Amino acid sequence: MKDLVFATHNAHKLEELRAILKDFNILGLHDINCHEDIVEDGETLKDNAIIKANYVTSNYHIDCFADDTGLEVDALDGAPGVYSARYAGEGCSYQDNVNKLLEALEGVENRKARFKTVIALNLNGEQYLFEGKVEGVITKEQHGEKGFGYDPIFLPDGFDQTFAEMPMEVKNKISHRGRATQKLVEFLMKR
């Protein structure tokens, strides 16, 4: 089983990726003794994924992959987007972000939204990018206890459960991160 470093401190993301990438031993940043907060100051999800992957590769001299994910809401001109994790301010909780988004959409009929994930893979001195996207709507109230982040208020198109109500196996097959990761897996399996 090949070791692959996922440049994240987020235990929820690590758990999701380990469930998807079963043929690899996925290590997090803490596993390589990287305890720094990598500054994500890019203007796009792609920029931030590249920043994180390049930081780990250049400072720890290992191949790795990193992702950045954003929720884009049509009625908010694509916000929170690249600022999804800190939508309610620095140091905010997942619940703070959800509350702010629900308040911003109070009385708004158009609740169309999408999750996007960009993965940057640094492998053998080359960089590869993979993107995943899922369309859906923002619900008017929270549903479900599973998942994290905006999962309790994101209802993917064609489903009657939010991400937070779905079993992880179902979510991982249809989610933005699942789709981007599947592209990563297909690429790695060909190598």
The active-site residue out of 3, 47, 67, 68 is 68
- H-run or E-run covering 60: helix 45-60
Residue 42: how many other CB atoms lie within 10 Å = 15
Distance separating alpha carbons of residues 171 and 159, to the nearest angstrom: 11
CB 121, CB 65: distance < 8 Å: yes
- Establish whether 68 is a catalytic residue: yes
**24-27 and 2-6 strand pairing:** parallel
| Phi, psi angle pair for 132, to nearest 5° | -130, 150
With beta carbons less than 8 A apart as the criterion, state whether 175 and 158 touch. Answer: no
Instruction: For residues 53 and 10, give the distance between their C-alpha atoms in angstroms, rounded to a whole number.
Output: 15
Burial class (CB in 10 A: 0-12, 13-18, 19+), 182: middle
Task: Tell me which residues are annotated as active site.
Answer: 68
